[in-house]
Structure 1
Amino acid sequence: MTAVLHIRNIVKQYGEARALDGVSLSLPGDSYISLLGPSGSGKTTLLRVIAGFERPEAGEIHFQGKRIDTLAPHERGIGFVFQNFALFPHLSVEQNIGFGLTNRAVDPILDDALVTRRVKDMIALVGLKGLEGRAISQISGGQKQRVALARTLVTEPKMVLLDEPLGALDANLRTSMRSELRRIRERCGVTFLHVTGSETEALAMGDTVLVLERARIAQHGDADTIYNRPCSPAVARFLNCYNLLSGRVEGENFVSPVGTLSLGGLHQKAANPAYAIRYDRVSIRSETASLGEGETGIEATFITSEYTGSAVNAFFMLADGSVFEVEQHLSHTPPSTFEPQARYRLAWKREDALVYA
């Protein structure tokens, strides 16, 4: 797939703090890209630099073969959907969507019939038919999100930047809008770059997922690779589905403060050694149970469990006082009960672990 956007060694600094530290990436055309990262990692700053709302101290941005980092935002051909939607409260749904066509600095459309036709087509695309005359105060959060998206898409940008577009919606709306955003993008045939702090959202939506960590791109790849093979302890920790143990590799073992684990999983290079095992790869057994062939594990004290509907998450205390989490999917097995403060053996296949050293 041909790349539509190339970013080379972008640096953005606020005083002594670097919000972006030599970021480089290429984004394919006609695709959905998720940009995932913790708060303060530089996600929104990167979006604003691409859009032209912020000027970088160093680096270049090329879009569709043309350098754009020296251009004003309205000259870049890139749309931006703000987190708070930034709609005009004194205008109707229809007027909000058509605003960019009639008021843009480059080639405004002055033909009222053409504007009406374009707005009507966009309203049908995003599912707002029948709400054209409504005031912004009279529509729901999900409908406001669609208006903001339609207002951007009606100007026919070649790329759309979305700054946590689902963050202001309730849980049910967020879930339904995921598929809606993907459907709309596919029909428009443009690239969406979607910033989010939710690992679930990023993995569910992105054809490609970028992980931003401490002002740098830590990893990029498809959702399956990011989820199953995070490239560093930091990425694994942010995915919120891995237990991480500190320690060191000694021969065929990983020696940690909570026990010695025999190795057999994927080894990756990292500055700080760590051992990672996913929550749902661990089984809980009696303290006296033996390990099976190809298994390793540790002993721990049960603290409490949390019911989430489709799963039960059990929490255990390790020897060093850290907490170890186990996820049991209820579709696989009926819920188990454990005795508070009792000791259990936690076991998993050696090949399921990720070792960073």
Structure 2
Amino acid sequence: MSTVLQLKSITKAYGDMRALNGIDLALPGDAYISLLGPSGSGKTTLLRVIAGFEHPDAGAILFDGKRIDTVAPHQRGIGFVFQNFALFPHLSVAQNIAFGLENRDVDPVTDRRIVDARVRDIISLVGLSGLEGRAVTQISGGQRQRVALARTLVTEPRMVLLDEPLGALDANLRARMRAELRAIRERCGVTFLHVTGSEAEALGMGDTVLVLESGRIAQSADSDTVYNRPASPAVARFLNCYNLFAGRIEGGAFVGGVGRFALGASAPTRAASPAYAIRYDRVSVRPRDTAIAEDEIRIEANFVASEYSGAAVNSFFALDDGKVFEVESHLSHAAPETYAEQGRYALVWKREDALVYA
């Protein structure tokens, strides 16, 4: 698959704060790329640098093999969908979509028949047929999202940047729009770079997931790899599905504040600082006097509370060092357990299920 966008050592600082710290990145054509990161990691800055709304302090941006970091935003051939949609309230759905075609600096389309045909085609593509004459103030949030996307796609960009495009939608609509955005992208055959702070959204949508941390790409991989093998403790922490322990590796074990955990056969992953991670759904809760197998790790903790999230229940336990430990139980496996308030339980997992960083 050919590379459509390449970033080489991109840096961007605001005073003493370095938002982008030597970003090296190559994005393939015809792919859905999720860019995930916590608030302040540089996600939106990176998107704005690619679009041309911000200029990098150093480095180079190549699009289709040509350097574009000195090219004006409207001449880059890259579309941008804003989080708040940025639609014109006084124009209809069709007029909003046609605006970019008719008013762009390079090769504006002036033939009314061509404009109408292009707008009609893109309206059908994004599922807005029948709403052409409706004011954008008279349609739903999901429909406005599609209008904003159609306005970008009608200009036939090679790449579309989406800045948290589902953030303004309610939870049910966000879930539906995930599938719709993927389907629209596949029909268009262009690359989407979708910025989000939601790990579920990024993992569910991206062919490739980029995790940004402190202005650097901390991991670039498929969703399964990012979820099951986060490249660093910081990535694991941001995924919000791992319990993490600080400590050190000593004599074939990880030694931390709540005990000594024997290591599995897998070699530790290199990281900036040692850490031990176990995913919430890899842990079982047992009576404290239950025996464990030779390949299992066990700690004790006091039950605090449980929280239902629909398909699963998350239970919270207080460890002896004061930290909170989380266990996720999927309700498709069994009915939820009931734990005694402040009851003492054993938390058990397989040695091989843990991730160790050294």
SS at 1:268 equivalent: coil
SS at 2:226 equivalent: helix
TM-score (normalizing by structure 1): 0.99
Name the counterpart of 2:254.
254
SS at 1:247 equivalent: strand
CA distance in 1, matches of 2:283, 2:210: 27
CA distance in 2, matches of 1:104, 1:141: 26
SS at 1:118 equivalent: helix
Read off the aligned partner of 2:307 and give its amino acid letter.
E
Q: Does 1:200 align with 2:200?
A: yes
The correspondence of residues 1-357 of structure 1 with structure 2, limited to 5 A, is 1-264=1-264, 266=266, 267-357=268-358
CA distance in 1, matches of 2:71, 2:255: 54
Question: Shift of residue 201 of structure 1?
Answer: 0.2
Displaced runs of 4 or more, over 3 A: none
Q: Is the 1:244–1:274 contact (alpha carbons within 8 Å) kept by the matching residues of 2?
A: yes
Deviations 1:289-345 (A, max 9, x none): 121121112111111111112111110000110000000111111110111111111
SS at 2:300 equivalent: strand
CA distance in 2, matches of 1:334, 1:310: 11
The 3 A distance-change label for structure 1 pair 23 and 86 is same
Read off the aligned partner of 2:165 and give its amino acid letter.
P
CA RMSD of aligned residues (A): 0.7
Read off the aligned partner of 1:10 and give its amino acid letter.
I
Read off the aligned partner of 2:27 and give its amino acid letter.
L
Report sequence identity in percent. 72
CA distance in 1, matches of 2:314, 2:289: 22
CA distance in 2, matches of 1:307, 1:70: 51
Deviations 1:210-265 (A, max 9, x none): 00000110000000000000011100000000000111111111111111111106
Q: Is the 1:97–1:119 contact (alpha carbons within 8 Å) kept by the matching residues of 2?
A: yes
SS at 1:243 equivalent: strand
Read off the aligned partner of 1:320 and give its amino acid letter.
D
CA distance in 1, matches of 2:188, 2:98: 17
CA distance in 2, matches of 1:309, 1:30: 34
Gaps of 5+ in 1: none
Gaps of 5+ in 2: none
CA distance in 2, matches of 1:274, 1:189: 41
Read off the aligned partner of 1:328 and give its amino acid letter.
S
Q: Is the 1:97–1:148 contact (alpha carbons within 8 Å) kept by the matching residues of 2?
A: yes
The 3 A distance-change label for structure 1 pair 341 and 265 is farther
Residue correspondences, number:
357
CA distance in 2, matches of 1:45, 1:265: 41
CA distance in 1, matches of 2:297, 2:16: 46
Q: Is the 1:265–1:354 contact (alpha carbons within 8 Å) kept by the matching residues of 2?
A: no
CA distance in 2, matches of 1:265, 1:286: 28
Deviations 1:36-74 (A, max 9, x none): 000010001000000000000000000111111110011
Read off the aligned partner of 2:312 and give its amino acid letter.
A
CA distance in 2, matches of 1:278, 1:297: 14
